[in-house]
Amino acid sequence: MSRVAIDKMLSKVDSRFTLVIEAAKRARQINDYFNAVKRHEMVRVRPPQIDAMSSKPLTIAFQEIAEGKVVYERTVEGIK
């Protein structure tokens, strides 16, 4: 498993809570993408933004955050 430094990821977001929420949201999107491709359905989410060695959506999401490929927007209601 590829390890991404937590310090590097935390420099891209404002808190650990934001990191967890953003990674979980992106991992769900990546999982939906993989499932849609597998079923030959129309893909409605962005594919992975990096060339990952891992096939695990959460690991890919963490790598995207560490490389700055995923950004978040804090709103009054929460993160979008």
pLDDT digits (tens, 9 = 90+) for 41-79: 888 888 888 887 788 999 999 999 988 888 777 777 766
Phi and psi at residue 79, to the nearest 5°: -90, 135
Contacts of 56 by beta carbon, 8 Å cutoff, 6+ apart: 1
pLDDT at 2 over 60: no
Q: Residue 49 to residues 23, 27, 29, 75: CA-CA distances in angstroms?
A: 13, 12, 12, 24
Domain coordinates in residue numbering, the chain: 6-67
Q: In angstroms, rounded to a whole number, what is the distance separating the alpha carbons of residues 24 and 2?
A: 17
Q: In angstroms, rounded to a whole number, what is the distance separating the alpha carbons of residues 39 and 72?
A: 29
Rounded to an integer, the average pLDDT of 28-46 is 90
pLDDT digits (tens, 9 = 90+) for 15-28: 888 899 999 999 99
Give the model's pLDDT for residue 79. Answer: 62
